[in-house]
Chain A
Amino acid sequence: MSTQRQRRAEAPELKPGQLSKPELLQMYRTMLLARRLDERMWLLNRQGKIAFVISCQGHEGAQVGIAKALRPGVDWVLPYYRDLALVLALGMTAREAMLGAFARAEDPSSGGRQMPSHYGSPRLRIVSGSSPVATQIPHAVGVALASKLRREDAVAVTCLGEGSTSQGDFHEGLNFAAVHSLPVVFVCENNGWAISTPLREEMAVKRVSKRARAYGMPGETVDGSDLLGVYEAMQRAVARARQGEGPTLLEVLTVRLTSHSSDDNQFTYRPKKELATETRHHEPLAACGRYLRQAGILDDAKAQELEAAVAAEVDDATDYAERAAPPAPETLLERVYAEG
């Protein structure tokens, strides 16, 4: 079984755009942090310390590339549950992510109310989302509408998986945004699977971006392991939005390296060979590492240094969140309505 995504067979050559070496290194570090945090969460889940994990593994390149084109705290972001690397790149901390995983009172996204990976942060203009997929799409359109009405140049960006584009909210949101030429970028992180359902059973087109034309907006597909390619495509989309030229549908091809979630076992439906092929060609962390080495930005010593620093950060986040207090039972009743 193939995911029918027709990608380039080889990892693309990364070209240094306008990004400086320290910037590229920082982007790589964020990808690495997201990966190691995510791996730690699985470990904690297997140890029975946290009840649920849903991964960003294999999506890190796409997410860090997208974030780089944004102004954290100025542009609005309405992410979905795989966007750990995206929110880290925007300024969420490892501790904050772990507080969510452990469902602690201090969890900035929901105070332990939501499942992990349902990110929210007023400070970073990351809008709290729910679990029913694609509901964030019309919200992003409304956020963009408000920015436009106030003549602000903030852009709204929202992400979702390719399976979720089957929802009515996706269609309705894109149509509204196009009709009103709103400053919004729709990012589809296409990993080829919606839990066990392959792309070809979700849609009869091979590219989500093809749908853009029918709404009257540009659509583009980029490879998610091509960090700079994602960044450049996102820059174009953001520039269009800021200049009042309306929305863009950006499809980023990713690979889902893990099962859908800790409640799933992907090998009950996914051929191991398909995962191996996808991983070999499109695993973003390795692709980015290779590029940085070719470009002379990363070497063994630097890589080891980064691994050590990231490991310390993950340890610190885990210890901190594990010790933090859970929400008190009586807080269940609070904040149903405005208080005070």
Chain B
Amino acid sequence: MPQKNVVEAVRDALLEEMERDPTVILMGEDVGERGGVFRATEGLLAKFGPERVIDAPLAESSIVGVAIGAAVNGFRPVAEIQFADFILPAVNQLISEAAKLRYRSNGAFGRPLTVRTPYGGGVHGALYHSQSIEALFAHIPGLKVVAPSTPYDTKGLLKAAIRDPDPVLFLEHKRAYRLIRGEVPEGEYVLPIGKAEVKRQGTDLSLITYGLTVHYGLQAAEELAREGVSVEVLDLRTLLPLDREAVLATAKKTGKVLIAHEDNLTGGLGGEVAAIIAQDAFEWLDAPVMRLAGPDVPAMGYAKTLEDAYMLSPEKIAAALRKLAAY
């Protein structure tokens, strides 16, 4: 099977969906001639022309708002927000409009749109090219939030997002874009939104995570295996709706859970996952549910010292897992 990186998986999914369905159109800043600042849309302007690959003016609220309008009127727009940090001017369109349009019209108006955006740090992006924004939107019923970790999942889930009848915020970890390679089969496959996946089987501890941190977690699990501790790694893949069954299954299986995410601790996804476990897997627990997350500071700094201090790493995860194992 061919090996691809995450950006190539995004591009393949966009290409295949645009070939399959003429109502799929792209819009965003620099997505045309430049092919996106991360090259995720490279070659698509040449293939599909400027009516389907639209270089938008530099204004995110209009990118999302226009995508909503086009979705109401028969298209399946895929909007790109150049960096997740810059989705904030579009929050009103996402939360007041995309999330609520179907509900407020009592089902009359659908809006099948996808908003793709690179998020996360570890790329010298400083405060405004590094943020994790998932918790803001994972709180909003009416949206779906997807955050895959591997090239395989990225392609299958992006295709699902584009075909989904509701708005999907599709989060691509920008450090993973070229760092993570994996097998991606040629041709058609779609993965279900709302399903987590066990990326490594284990019996002693569970690590629940998503995005780039899955890869750091797998490295940490490998390390702990050498120390005789068997760690199960659950990749959430979809953050809204959360896969409660998969969360509870791994918690009940091992009885000890660490939840890890790069997003800062307070109000992050970890709290929600911990609450699900506390409520429905309490009797199975052998230790308190633990969380490892970015520190509660506004964002990571530019200097390497500050970025490293913020970011999770296989070492930091391994240390937290050892602590949990010793409980």
Contact (Cβ within 8 A) A327 B37: no
Among candidates A166, A264, A331, A336, residue contacting B306 with C-beta atoms closer than 8 Å: A331
* Bound CA span A269–B36, Å: 11
Interchain nearest-CB distance for A111 vs B (Å): 8
Interchain nearest-CB distance for B217 vs A (Å): 22
Interchain nearest-CB distance for B325 vs A (Å): 26
Tell me if B297 counts as interface (CB < 8 A to partner A).
yes
A133 and chain B: residue at smallest CB distance: B58
* Bound CA span A288–B92, Å: 46
Contact (Cβ within 8 A) A197 B297: no
Contact (Cβ within 8 A) B88 A336: no
Interchain nearest-CB distance for B112 vs A (Å): 25
Interchain nearest-CB distance for B16 vs A (Å): 24
Tell me if A311 counts as interface (CB < 8 A to partner B).
no
Contact (Cβ within 8 A) B34 A195: yes
A105 and chain B: residue at smallest CB distance: B303
Chain B 105-143, CB-CB to A under 8 Å as 1, else 0, gives 000000000000000000011111100000000000000
Contact (Cβ within 8 A) B33 A103: no
Contact (Cβ within 8 A) B85 A326: no
* Bound CA span A330–B30, Å: 37
Tell me if B275 counts as interface (CB < 8 A to partner A).
no
Among candidates A167, A168, A263, A327, residue contacting B305 with C-beta atoms closer than 8 Å: A327
Chain B residues with CB under 8 Å of A113's CB are: 126-127, 301-303, 306
Contact (Cβ within 8 A) B58 A196: no
Q: Which of A161-181 contact B (CB under 8 A)?
A: 163-164, 166-169
B83 and chain A: residue at smallest CB distance: A131
Chain B residues with CB under 8 Å of A167's CB are: 58-59, 89
Contact (Cβ within 8 A) B55 A197: yes
With contacts A112-B301, A115-B302, A131-B85 taken as known, whether A195 is within 8 angstroms of B29 at the C-beta atoms is yes
Chain B 55-96, CB-CB to A under 8 Å as 1, else 0, gives 101110110000000000000000000000110110000000
Chain A residues with CB under 8 Å of B304's CB are: 103, 326
With contacts A115-B126, A130-B128 taken as known, whether A201 is within 8 angstroms of B55 at the C-beta atoms is yes
Chain A residues with CB under 8 Å of B222's CB are: none
B57 and chain A: residue at smallest CB distance: A166
* Bound CA span A264–B58, Å: 17
Tell me if B272 counts as interface (CB < 8 A to partner A).
no
Chain A residues with CB under 8 Å of B58's CB are: 133, 163-164, 166-167, 194, 197, 202
With contacts A131-B127, A197-B29, A197-B30 taken as known, whether A336 is within 8 angstroms of B297 at the C-beta atoms is yes
Among candidates B129, B295, B310, residue contacting A131 with C-beta atoms closer than 8 Å: B129
Interface size on A, residues (CB 8 A): 41
Tell me if A9 counts as interface (CB < 8 A to partner B).
no
Tell me if A104 counts as interface (CB < 8 A to partner B).
yes
Q: Which of A186-215 contact B (CB under 8 A)?
A: 194-197, 201-203
Number of CB contacts from chain A to chain B under 8 A: 115
Contact (Cβ within 8 A) A104 B30: no
* Bound CA span A179–B300, Å: 38
A261 and chain B: residue at smallest CB distance: B37
Chain B residues with CB under 8 Å of A104's CB are: 303
* Bound CA span A269–B29, Å: 13
With contacts A132-B85, A269-B34 taken as known, whether A326 is within 8 angstroms of B55 at the C-beta atoms is no
Contact (Cβ within 8 A) A332 B34: no
Chain B residues with CB under 8 Å of A331's CB are: 306
Contact (Cβ within 8 A) A112 B309: no
Tell me if B298 counts as interface (CB < 8 A to partner A).
yes
Q: Which of B33-66 contact A (CB under 8 A)?
A: 33-35, 37, 55, 57-59, 61-62
Contact (Cβ within 8 A) A329 B127: no
Among candidates B59, B85, B126, B296, residue contacting A168 with C-beta atoms closer than 8 Å: B59
Chain A 103-117, CB-CB to B under 8 Å as 1, else 0, gives 111000010111110
Chain A residues with CB under 8 Å of B127's CB are: 113-115, 130-131
Among candidates B32, B88, B302, B309, residue contacting A329 with C-beta atoms closer than 8 Å: B309
Chain A residues with CB under 8 Å of B35's CB are: 268
Chain B residues with CB under 8 Å of A51's CB are: 124, 302
Contact (Cβ within 8 A) B33 A269: yes
A161 and chain B: residue at smallest CB distance: B58
Which A-B residue pairs are the 8 nearest by beta carbons? A131-B128, A196-B34, A112-B303, A103-B303, A329-B309, A166-B57, A51-B124, A113-B301
Interface pairs (28), CB distance under 8 Å: A103-B304, A105-B303, A110-B302, A112-B302, A114-B301, A115-B124, A130-B128, A131-B128, A132-B89, A163-B57, A164-B58, A166-B62, A168-B61, A196-B30, A196-B32, A196-B34, A197-B30, A263-B37, A326-B304, A326-B305, A328-B305, A329-B306, A329-B308, A329-B309, A332-B295, A332-B301, A332-B309, A336-B298
